[in-house]
Amino acid sequence: MREVVHARGHEHVAATHDTTFEVTTDDWLTPAGDCIVGIEADRAPADFDTDFAEACRDPAATITLTLDVDGATQEVRARGHPDLTFDSDRSAVVRTSTYVDDRTVAVAADAAAADLDRGMVAALADGADPTLTLTVE
Enumerate the domain spans of the chain. 2-136
Superfamily in which the 2-136 domain is placed by CATH: mth639 domain like (2.60.120.630)
Tens-digit pLDDT profile for residues 28-39: 999 999 999 999
Identify which of 129, 127, 131, 109 has the alpha carbon closest to the alpha carbon of residue 21: 109
pTM, two decimals, is: 0.96
Residue ranges of alpha helices (H) inside the chain are 50-56, 118-125
| Predicted pLDDT of residue 13 | 97
| Predicted pLDDT of residue 23 | 98
| CB 23, CB 36: distance < 8 Å | yes
